[in-house]
Structures are given as C-alpha cells and as structure tokens.
Structure 1
C-alpha cells in the first residue's frame, strides 16, 4: 500500500470488483476517467486477477484502488499505463469516482502519489496524461498541478455520442521537483 496525505492506493482485490464495476458503469465517471478497460463484472474480475504489482519489472500497466486515508473507504481508481522502461516514461490516469470527494484535495494528492511512483520508484524522467476535452475539471486540475500541454489530438475520442479532442499533458522530473505547490503539499504531511 502506498500513501499520500489524503489517499492510499493499493492493488485491487477480487472483493473490490463490485465497487469497480459500479464506477465503470457510471456514465459520468466514464467521461472523466480514461484508465478502465471494460465494465462487465467478468472483465473487471479478469483485470484484477491479471493485475501486476509495482515490483514486477515486466509490468506495462498497474491498476490501483484509491482509498480515503482517514477512513479507508474506496473513493476512486488510478492506473499507471504504458510503462516504458527503455525510454523512462509512463502515463498516469487518476480518477476520483466518489463525486462527493472531488475538489477536496484527494485528486491532487493522488497525482502526487502517482508522480512519486513514476519518478522515484521507477526512476523515470517523464510522466504524462491523456485528458479528453470534455473533462474540463481534469484538464484544469492537471494544468494547475504543473503539467504542460504538449499536444491536442483533434476528434480523437468518440464518447457521449460525439467526437472530442484529447490533450497530451506532460511533466518532467525536474519540473515536478520544482513545483512549489507540491513542495508545500508534502511539507504539510
């Protein structure tokens, strides 16, 4: 289990499949979170069973269940995707599924935990995110965190019966280490 100030993340277990499926079936959450693969209970359970651990040197993807640190309730999911050890980068996909927990610092803390894994546990140079244009909260959050817009893929994703642009946002390790907002956040821990 890995933790920040407000969240803990852990590899999902079979007993978490029902809550994961509930979130993946939630149309609003699916518009916000880009890391799920399927929403049938069988698909969710298969993904849990096939899940890799952070210590697995062959893992190309890691899935996490996100819990509120103060009461251990599940509040979301996260993934580290496209782990590229040769080139030293990976994508992150944070997702606070519990709507009542959004805008309360859980998402920010989750991004800190995920970036710390990519930069310090893996020793990578770069982390990136893909954020759909219809997820303005996610886009604003990532940009205010310190991610830089690196590109816009026009009409790249078909969601909600329409095509939307997808933004590529990136952050380098030295940029992350110089983010005053992250320094202040960690100092309060």
Structure 2
C-alpha cells in the first residue's frame, strides 16, 4: 500500500508536458506580445491564444504538439463549419530546417496548400518549434467585426499532419480527432 501511495503521489507531482499543459499556463518563448485569452481546443491537444489589438483585428497564436517532420494549420471559415472554404495559416519545417508559415485557402478536399492571399487581412505570420510544439503567430483582421464590436464569433478549423513532401503538407488522417477538429469561437 505504501508503494502504491508513493507511485500515485509521484505521478501527481510530475509537471505537465507542454502537450498536456492548460493554455492559461503555457509560456511562449518568443511571442510578439502577451496573449490575454486562450482556449484549449477539444481535439488534437492544441490551443488558441489571442489578444484584441484593435476593434477589428486580433493577434493569435495557434499551438499544437507536432514532430519536426509534421505540419499544423489553423483557420477561419467565413461561410460554414467545414474544412472546404477555410482561410488557413499553415506551418512546418522547411527542408533547410527553418520554420515556414503562410496563409492558404482550402478550396477543396485536396487543396494545393500553396501560399495564397486570404479574403481578409493577415499580417506578421510566423512560426516556431519549441519543445515538441509548433506555434503559428499572426495578426488577423476579423471577418464581420466592425468598429466597436465587443466580440467576434466565427467558425474555426484546425489540423495537423505527419509529413511534408516537396515543401507541401501531405494529407492528414481522415479519422478520429482529425475529422472532429472544427467548431466556433468567440474572441472577446
């Protein structure tokens, strides 16, 4: 019984790894600014962090655990809650080892995932890889948010895949959490 109690207390006292850490306790290593709000997303062990920089824009950080060979993406779908039509930010390691991040539009179930201009303003897109987490940073103009809006509610989609082929993210899994990683969010 004493051994069981010791093992139980040992497990409880271990600090959470970054992939299990609540978003509110995550410390960014090179965040462009502090984030005032966050939410742990219900799938893929990821989280979204944000701060309203102006009444019609928000600074975001999307964080997800990932291997150095994989990729992550987070986006907004202005018209529905599905993947198709999502205006996304994608990040992965370039073949030279640096992190790459850019906007793209998911126009089909087999999108090109090449850099594209989005239907709303996006600035300061960057990414980093720290302790098994990939992070995308950006300032995003909020769809439908006007001067003085207290909050903006929209559809979001997030994703991850295990491979990048010739500088382009390869298809993600089409089962489990990968098909459930969508929902709505209100940025206050």
Work out whether the TM-score is over 0.5: no
Greater RCO structure (CA 8 Å; 6+ sep): 2
Q: Which is higher, the Rg of structure 1 or of structure 2?
A: 2
Judging by fraction of residues, say which structure has more helix.
1
